[in-house]
Amino acid sequence: MGISTPTVGEIQYEFSKKVFTELLNNKPKFVDYLNTEKTPLLLMDTEGVKSRYVQIKYHMPDVEVYYAVKANDHPQVIKVLVEVGAGFEVASVRELQEVLSAGASPERIISSNPVKPPEFIDFAYSSGVQRFAVDSFSEIDKIQRIAPRARIYVRITVPNEGSDWPLSRKFGTDPDTALEILDYSRRKGLIPIGITFHVGSQCNNLRNWFIAIKRASLLWNKAKDRGIRLLTLNMGGGIPVRYSYESVKIEDIAYYVKGLLRKYFPVPPYELQIEPGRGIVGDQGLMITKVIGKAERGNEKWLYIDTGVFNGLAEAIGGIRYPFYLESKGELKEWTIGGVSCDSMDVVARNVFLPEPEVGQLLYIPSAGAYTTVYASEFNGFPKPRVICL
Ligand SMILES: Cc1ncc(COP(=O)(O)O)c(C=O)c1O
């Protein structure tokens, strides 16, 4: 009688099953929709969204939370976050209109995209939004022309290692240039107020926060030596959620970040901010898709579902590894999961262990609340997921 060691596939599938089962235990109201005919469907738990916000505030009571609307802009999601007192981070006229019409106050709205369309700056400033991120001199010139007394915070680059969705390649500047940008904004009549960074989305590497906070504190002190008294430290997004592997918990991030802040900001900034997107909505959604076909290509077993990287699962091509679950028993086999469109880049996942599905069977994808519907198009004529908020 030997002890049998579980295979990689068994471990992977057990984890997905655990994520799915726990999701249903926490969200019994999802159960009524598990046999839906009309797929793809995204179920969102708006009470859960609220609880996530409250949980983050509980662990970081001194930090103002600005929800990054880009993660999921569903009106119900925005509505519950307004009710619970969240601030909002927006990038476009439409996002801003959505949060304003849901009742958010302009003083609780910031814009952290460092390069903004002039129409957006104009609309935001005239609506009462005053705080804008920058990472270039040219953005200062643009803002100064449109919003002459705007408040400016500068984005610095920080390591994004270990973040499944890195963001530092496109935005941010080095601390020396950031200092010059802050100084330039002051000379232009704008009001330099702070520093921002982003450790990368789905960040499971606490070291990124360490380097970021340390780097920000050096810049903060150099600005002070130049007579620029900053008020705001914005620590961006990055809070991870559980996908096909466990993620760092918010309480651990909060504990670590608070320690770093005590060390590197002995005099606390007037306002500490974070702007999570994924960390608030990511694990509050369940995507329900349907298996529409199967094929064997050489040694590879393929299954095809009615969602894909163009109509809901875009992040699958950039490093997000969703868990997958099927209500089936039987031997686990290794699958490549193809999306619904004709495009060959529409591959949702590889090396996924699942029991053999029937065509027509539902495939469940937990942790699909962030960056799914917002990215979706109707490429090839396939619909975006319906969304039901419960
Ligand atoms: C400027 C900015 N803030 C916040 C976020 C939200 O990040 P996350 O979803 O990792 O919390 C993003 C994501 O792209 C961002 O670009």
Provide the 8-state DSSP code for 173.
B
**Domain locations in the chain as residue ranges:** 8-44+283-389, 47-280
**In terms of CATH architecture, what is 8-44+283-389?**
Beta Barrel (2.40)
296/314 Cα distance (integer angstroms): 24
Pocket lined around ligand 1, Cβ cut-off 6 Å: 68, 70-71, 89, 112-113, 167, 198, 201, 236-239, 275-279
Atom 5 of ligand 1, nearest CA residue:
237
Atom 12 of ligand 1, nearest CA residue:
237
Ligand 1 atom closest to Cα of 163? 10
Structure-token pair, residue 158: 């920080």
pLDDT score for 169 = 75
Q: CA distances (Å), 52 to each of 57, 103, 241, 248, in order?
A: 9, 20, 11, 15
Residue 240: closest CA among 154, 186, 136, 164: 164
User: What is the CATH code of the structural domain delimited by 47-280?
Assistant: 3.20.20.10
Atom 1 of ligand 1, nearest CA residue:
112
- 97 alpha carbon – ligand 1 mean position (Å): 19
- 32 alpha carbon – ligand 1 mean position (Å): 32
Q: What does the pLDDT profile of the chain (390 residues) look like in tens digits?
A: 567 888 889 999 999 999 999 999 999 999 999 999 999 999 999 999 999 999 999 999 999 999 999 999 999 999 999 999 999 999 999 999 999 999 999 999 999 999 999 999 999 999 999 999 999 999 999 999 999 999 999 999 998 887 887 776 789 999 999 999 999 999 999 999 999 999 999 999 999 999 999 999 999 999 999 999 999 999 999 999 999 999 999 999 999 999 999 999 999 999 999 999 999 999 999 999 999 999 999 999 999 999 999 999 999 998 899 999 999 889 999 999 999 999 999 999 999 999 999 999 999 999 999 999 999 999 999 999 999 999
Which of 198, 243, 320 maximizes ligand 1 atoms within 8 Å of its Cβ, making it the mutation to test the pocket? 198
Ligand 1 atom closest to Cα of 155? 1
- 383 alpha carbon – ligand 1 mean position (Å): 26
390/387 Cα distance (integer angstroms): 10
pLDDT score for 1 = 54
- 66 alpha carbon – ligand 1 mean position (Å): 10
Atom 7 of ligand 1, nearest CA residue:
237
- 70 alpha carbon – ligand 1 mean position (Å): 8
Which residue pairs, CB below 8 angstroms and at least 24 apart, start in 374-381? 374/70, 374/71, 374/72, 374/73, 375/312, 375/314, 375/315, 376/310, 376/311, 376/312, 376/314, 377/310, 377/311, 378/311, 379/310, 379/311, 379/341, 379/343, 380/310, 380/340, 380/341, 380/342, 380/343
pLDDT score for 319 = 84
